[in-house]
Amino acid sequence: MRFLLTLLFFVVAPAQAQFKFDIHKLIDTTKNVVKATSDIGEPEEIQIGKDVASRLLGAAPLAKDENLQRYVNRVGRWLALQTERPDLPWQFGVMEAPQLNAFAVPGGTIFVTRGLVERMRSEAELAGVLAHEISHVLRKHHLKAIQKGAQTALAGEALNQALRNQRADVREKLVSFGSEMYTRGLDKGDELEADRLGVVIAARAGYDAYGLPAVLQTLQAMNAQDSALALMFKTHPAPGERLSALGETMQPTLDAYASQPQLADRFVQQVKVRK
């Protein structure tokens, strides 16, 4: 290694002044990338989430049902209180869309489609899905994916400025990338981790731990060619795979908290009668 460094010194020595400028610039750029991708504060995380949420709502608006929205927010915020980030500005919304899906954006905003809600049978199932999405926020899965992808499109100070909302043009690229990510999905490991943590959060909040597995069983029983499932199946591991993974890693927890309430009657009263 010392020989290689010595050789490199003699090769570049004639252009020493220019070389010094370039290497210093490279070091500064690298520092900016590292700073931008590792020191994202909570205010920036929340603002990125708001920008991305606005894009998602442009594709599917919130359902015009105040009672339903209020109910889902009560369940979601109770779950969030059981986590290590209870003070995020948590918001939960039902999108007016027939597709079956749920989304989390950085900073604490969670969406679930009406199509998925209407396939559920209890509050424990709703809690299981919301807890899965909450877990993505806790582990910053989407934020990390946005950062990682943005590094290929925005370098150095531009990325730093975009993350801090200092330049509208580069910020637009960042938000566009973040929005497109929801059609590609996260890594499988992120989804399986969110399943595991979601079960724990739901159980901690007092719900039957089998809420999320019950929803996965519903999805597994549906026709895989159903267009309402297209995006869900594209962006998530197959329901059967997720159920198997939960069984392998979480069976003791599932069984230990299986007797907690499902609250099916309350769910039907709040959701089913308001279709």
pLDDT of residue 25: 42
- pLDDT tens profile 181-194: 888 889 999 999 99
Measured CA to CA, the distance from residue 97 to residue 103 in angstroms comes to 13
Tokens in use for 28?
Answer: 């500064």
- pLDDT tens profile 8-60: 333 334 333 433 334 344 334 334 433 444 567 899 899 889 989 998 998 89
Q: What does the longest C-alpha to C-alpha distance in the chain come to?
A: 81
Q: Is there a domain that residue 10 lies in?
A: no
Q: Is there a domain that residue 165 lies in?
A: yes
Contacts of 50 (CB under 8 A, 6+ apart): 107, 109
Q: Contact 177/146 with Cβ under 8 angstroms?
A: yes
Measured CA to CA, the distance from residue 113 to residue 97 in angstroms comes to 6
Q: Is there a domain that residue 16 lies in?
A: no
Measured CA to CA, the distance from residue 235 to residue 96 in angstroms comes to 20
Measured CA to CA, the distance from residue 186 to residue 135 in angstroms comes to 13
Q: Is there a domain that residue 29 lies in?
A: no
Q: Is there a domain that residue 19 lies in?
A: no
Residue 141's nearest CA partner among 183, 97, 193 is 193
Q: Is there a domain that residue 197 lies in?
A: yes
Q: Contact 254/199 with Cβ under 8 angstroms?
A: yes
- pLDDT tens profile 101-120: 999 999 999 999 999 999 99
Token pair 């993974």 is found at 245
Say yes or no to pLDDT of 257 above 50: yes
Q: Is there a domain that residue 235 lies in?
A: yes
- pLDDT tens profile 198-240: 999 999 999 999 999 999 999 999 998 899 999 999 999 999 9
Instruction: Say whether 99 sits in a helix, a strand or coil.
Output: coil
What range defines the domain where residue 139 resides?
A: 37-274
Q: Is there a domain that residue 44 lies in?
A: yes
Measured CA to CA, the distance from residue 140 to residue 128 in angstroms comes to 19
pLDDT of residue 168: 62
pLDDT of residue 154: 57
Measured CA to CA, the distance from residue 275 to residue 272 in angstroms comes to 6
Domains in the chain: how many in total? 1
